[in-house]
Amino acid sequence: MYFLHLTRAWFKCAAFIVMTFAVVSCNNSKPTSPEAKLAFDRVIPKPSSANAAGKTFLITETTSIVADSSSAELRDVANYLSETLRSITGLSVKLASAAENGSIVLTLQGGSASLGDEGYELRIEDKQIRIIANNPAGVFYGIQTLRQIIADKDDKAPRDEWEVATGTITDSPEYAWRGSMLDVARHFFPVEDVKRYIDLISYYKINILHLHLSDDQGWRIEIKSWPNLTAIGGQSQVGGGKGGFYTQEQYKEIVAYAQSRFITVVPEIDLPGHTNAALVSYRDELLPGTPIKIEAGERPRPVAGQPHIGTEVGFSTLSLKKESTMKFVNDVIRELAAITPGPYFHVGGDEAAVTKKPDYIEFVNRFKEIVNANGKIMIGWEEVAQGDLDSTVVVQYWHSSNYAKMGAEKDAKILFSPATKAYLDMQYDSTSRIGLHWAAYIEIDSSYQWDPATLVPGIERQQIVGVEAPLWTETVVTMDDIEYLVFPRLLSIAEVGWTSPSSRNWDDYKVRLANHAKPWKAMGVDFYRSKQIDWADSVQVKP
Ligand code: TNX
């Protein structure tokens, strides 16, 4: 009998070994439930190292959060954790000043230097959880990992105990720039949508939100010295809807909200092409020459200076010959830089098909001077590689490896957004209900299986700042549309940006991804149910 008992216990341990990365101890005081055992198997992006210890920490009404008192920012993070735990568990977990059994401790003391600026160590023991980092950002990322490993159950019944599997996770990112771009110009999205978007992407340790604030179809940010930009240019969008724009106050609100999730907003004003909304707003001041006449029988083309609600590109440009042009550029960059605490300013620079090449180069050089004079670092789409660059500039590769290499040769940093892998507006396949497919159809495996460090021969790892997944919104009208294209592919890009290539593996990723269906359902995320993934909407693991 005793022997039988031992054997059974041994089997339990063996099963546990199979289900976790490593087992330090099998003598769990409270048996770990099947749901909790799954926990370490669903963290995205995959942490640098994770060792499960086989016990359980319980989050209950008496759990407390304790943060170093010396850091105000860390106290904000502690409040964020409390709110997050309330929304997951319904429990009100209070902040306390002294750590005891049952505390979740957030600390900036004692982290190893190897954790860097954004890394963290998450130690979950049966009596206490500790998140240790060198900066509040690292603690915040530790919290995101913790959120993902709190066991969820299928039944919706209220519970007074929430299990967390014990173990140690040590983690830090591969790249400093892990971005997501939202095009609010083709279709406008109100502040509330952007905040929800920020919340959703922060779960995956994304740290940059690039906002594409102007394009041919609409101008989305208030510029006080050029009011028609929003009064006229802000009132349109693709398909003829009413458009919209952010006041400077609303933009600041978005920036602050992003900051509270350790996300830096990078504003983009697309120049000198993609400027039709500005040309329509200030025809006398900005519109170059007379609009081209359309010959009888010719397919109607968009005309610069006329409102544009289609999706064609490459027909509008600023002109160096117009006296007001550089004043306009100066004013816009100055006003927007002044309300942007982050270090970057994106000047666009893509698809300026009707800007003469010498003018284009002149523009890029002047944009750089103005951006720098306003205390910011210039970033632009890959075509800006034709300008005079230096090592401060970031060139965003999207299509042409030649431009990307040209940027690298000029010592610029390269941000990877290859359209065939990272463009979230590409359809998954030919049946996708929205999206474009000019670059590729991108299923989940394709969005995951690539490595920025080897994608473009000649661009070395140390020149790459990171990755960014753009969502262009020609076909994207609602928040549901956003979610359908972004989830799950943004997670691929998040993992490409965070996890070292040697730790990434499609077969392992697929299983972790399957376990995100449940939290998405809980958060009401309208994700794409790719057939490549065996979605685990209900956890079915035999105890
Ligand atoms: C190319 S990528 C563009 C955008 C479009 C996008 C659609 C880039 C820098 N320019 O203007 O919205 O394709 O996928």
Report pLDDT digits (tens) over 48-97. Answer: 999 989 899 999 999 999 999 889 999 999 999 999 999 989 999 999 99
Identity of the residue numbered 476? V
The reported pLDDT for the residue numbered 522 is: 85
Identity of the residue numbered 183? D
Report pLDDT digits (tens) over 288-309. Answer: 976 555 566 666 678 898 889 9
Kindly report the CA angle at 395 between 391 and 398, in degrees rounded to 5? 160
Both tokens of 161, joined, read: 């105990």
Verify whether ligand 1 is closer than 6 Å to residue 381 (CB atom).
Answer: yes
Q: Whose CA is nearest to atom 8 of ligand 1?
A: 350
Verify whether ligand 1 is closer than 6 Å to residue 397 (CB atom).
Answer: no
Burial, 501: exposed, middle or buried (Cβ in 10 Å; 0-12, 13-18, 19+)?
Answer: middle
CA of 367 to the centre of ligand 1 (A): 20
Verify whether ligand 1 is closer than 6 Å to residue 469 (CB atom).
Answer: no
Which stretches of the chain drop beneath a pLDDT of 70?
1-32, 34-38, 151, 153-156, 290-300, 538-543
Verify whether ligand 1 is closer than 6 Å to residue 425 (CB atom).
Answer: yes
Taking the CA of residue 326 as centre, how many other CA atoms within 13 Å lie in the half-sphere pointing to its CB?
14
Verify whether ligand 1 is closer than 6 Å to residue 472 (CB atom).
Answer: yes
The reported pLDDT for the residue numbered 268 is: 98
CA 225 to CA 65: how far, in whole Å? Answer: 47
CA of 270 to the centre of ligand 1 (A): 11
The reported pLDDT for the residue numbered 375 is: 98
- For ligand 1, what atom is nearest to the CA of residue 425? 14
Do 464 and 175 form a contact (C-beta atoms < 8 A)? Answer: yes
Q: Whose CA is nearest to atom 12 of ligand 1?
A: 472
Both tokens of 271, joined, read: 């120049």
The reported pLDDT for the residue numbered 292 is: 56
Do 418 and 447 form a contact (C-beta atoms < 8 A)? Answer: no
- For ligand 1, what atom is nearest to the CA of residue 186? 12
CA of 25 to the centre of ligand 1 (A): 52
CA 275 to CA 284: how far, in whole Å? Answer: 14
CA of 425 to the centre of ligand 1 (A): 9
Q: Whose CA is nearest to atom 4 of ligand 1?
A: 472
CA of 377 to the centre of ligand 1 (A): 22
Verify whether ligand 1 is closer than 6 Å to residue 384 (CB atom).
Answer: no
Nearest Cα to 281, choosing from 324, 250, 336? 324
Kindly report the CA angle at 272 between 270 and 274, in degrees rounded to 5? 55
Residue written as token pair 């604030």? 213
- DSSP symbol at 205: T
- For ligand 1, what atom is nearest to the CA of residue 398? 2
Catalytic residue positions, numbered: 351
In sequence order, what DSSP letters do the residues of 41-90 get, joined into one string? GG-SSPPSEEEEEEEEEEE-TT-EEEE-TT-HHHHHHHHHHHHHHHHHH-
Both tokens of 101, joined, read: 């059994």
Nearest Cα to 62, choosing from 102, 114, 117? 102
- For ligand 1, what atom is nearest to the CA of residue 351? 10
Do 253 and 265 form a contact (C-beta atoms < 8 A)? Answer: no
Please give the backbone phi and psi of residue 188, each rounded to the nearest 5 degrees, phi first. -90, 140
Verify whether ligand 1 is closer than 6 Å to residue 351 (CB atom).
Answer: yes
Do 516 and 491 form a contact (C-beta atoms < 8 A)? Answer: yes
- For ligand 1, what atom is nearest to the CA of residue 473? 12
